[in-house]
Structure 1
């Protein structure tokens, strides 16, 4: 199947199915209930099951970079399976850090050990491809440091929609596969440029996720970059938490979604200027930027529809247009 911008999986559909099947076989071999728990987590992350896009970069980056470097597909598959394990490990860790996953005490006792087992499986896959003395392990240390700093900063300061490195930081370990493939190809000098390319895509992915999750994040808005942008456009000093009406006003009246799409498009221009950027990564990013712009177009169409239908009062009401109200405007 040929890959399109609307279908980032495309030609990799069968390959991803093989990678997930291999991962499921290995996970089901874990002792006791741990195997069933692991297989359940895997199913939730399988794009063939949930049609999700958020994790595709974890699975597909080894193939995108490997394709550009002429690396055999089987080698890329090993890294993709390792990435699946690493991703599930970080999912569990993130839920444990957030503390809002709704785990029971029994689930916590099962999931935290499972997370460590997944981390071990990731190491085993990568060690099968790169020996312990390989420089890629120094890169892993650097990416883990980026991840740790991003997680700590999330609780300490408001998310900045323009800070590419920080937006990408929570997914920094994803970059290991790209660096590893460059090391294998004898091109370690290209790692910095590849890191920049992946960071730009990860930053846009985070912006998309933050827009999708803004209602859920209203209680703790500082960790959501889209809410930061909306509050800036509303002229908020941050002393009062935003509510849904104020953010809708930012979207429909202050152009918050248009500004978000502009940030994504700026990332895309920078990405296209990097010769190290693999074709698949560029197309993946383009699909995200186009989805944001399409969402912004739907907002403009809704505003036009209301205005042309002589429903200005309904529009102002939906935006919280009464300027005498308190709170963020």
Structure 2
């Protein structure tokens, strides 16, 4: 299964529909809440981006591992529940509970986590192997989120960037365990981490204004690059105008693109990454490269109109 946005949307529609059906036995009012949340996140029925990797990873790796498609689909549905569990948990920690309120969000999140465990666990007959991996991934996630905003996000540390999404790796581990090839898991984890790091960098680029306004500069790897590009002292406040100067005058986004390209090269060097994962990472890279071209075109147009120097000058005020 090579990466294709059209195919990804179609596959996501099937997975989310099954995930929605799986909530039918949940008690009200949580059932209605969960179904609304699933509908809201289903990329097959809405416009905008989606982290397809979270729930398509078991499909991609499952094809590589040679396990039945029905088994991969079960893991994918379980990954939807897991994704939404962490989604709600992150929102509560950030004080943004998506209109549900913290109590309802935590209650729904716990129910989603139980559904994730049941969906994966039904195929492992109580085996501890899978859950040992999940414990490790949860530990990585816990460490990352507990330090978020304390330590400066390091854009060159791919493994560190991937930690906040570490539980996603359970989809790859489950597929290789089901195939009876646990020795393939370490390389699969490396491949997933590289793709997750690329996605995190792209997300930080997309969210930099929001994060800067919210006082979350230290959590955003692109803002780290911008500060370094400007050679700004730690005690000096990073402002929106300074970030724009870093983008237009010091090629901060170009530097981020180089890092994602490096992930691409490393991913190709692994040699065993499933085509869907490689293609998804390539799509992330191409999206950021398109933004670089747009910025260059904007700068070129301003220069042709004699306004670029004025733009850069104003960005320092």
Q: Indicate the TM-score class for this superposition, using the shorter chain for normalisation.
A: over 0.9
Matches within 5 A, 1:8-23: 8=5, 10-23=6-19
CA distance in 1, matches of 2:66, 2:98: 44
The answer to whether the 8 A contact 2:89-2:105 is kept is no
CA distance in 2, matches of 1:161, 1:309: 35
1:27 corresponds to 2:23: yes
1:166 corresponds to 2:160: yes
Q: Which residue of 1 aligns with 2:140?
A: 146
Segments of structure 2 that go 5 or more residues without pairing to the other structure are: none
CA 1:14–1:49: 2 relative to 1, 3 Å? closer
How many Å apart are 1:86 and its aligned residue?
0.5
Matches within 5 A, 1:49-60: 49-60=45-56
Matches within 5 A, 1:1-329: 7-8=4-5, 10-99=6-95, 101=96, 107-218=101-212, 219-320=215-316
The answer to whether the 8 A contact 2:141-2:165 is kept is yes
Segments of structure 1 that go 5 or more residues without pairing to the other structure are: none
CA distance in 1, matches of 2:267, 2:47: 25
CA distance in 2, matches of 1:54, 1:171: 14
How many Å apart are 1:306 and its aligned residue?
1.1
CA distance in 2, matches of 1:159, 1:47: 29
Q: Greater helix share, 1 or 2? A: 2
- Structure 1-normalised TM-score? 0.91
The answer to whether the 8 A contact 1:252-1:319 is kept is no
- RMSD between aligned residues: 1.8
- Structure 2-normalised TM-score? 0.94
The farther-off stretch of 191-200 and 239-248 is 239-248
The number of residues matched between the two structures is: 315
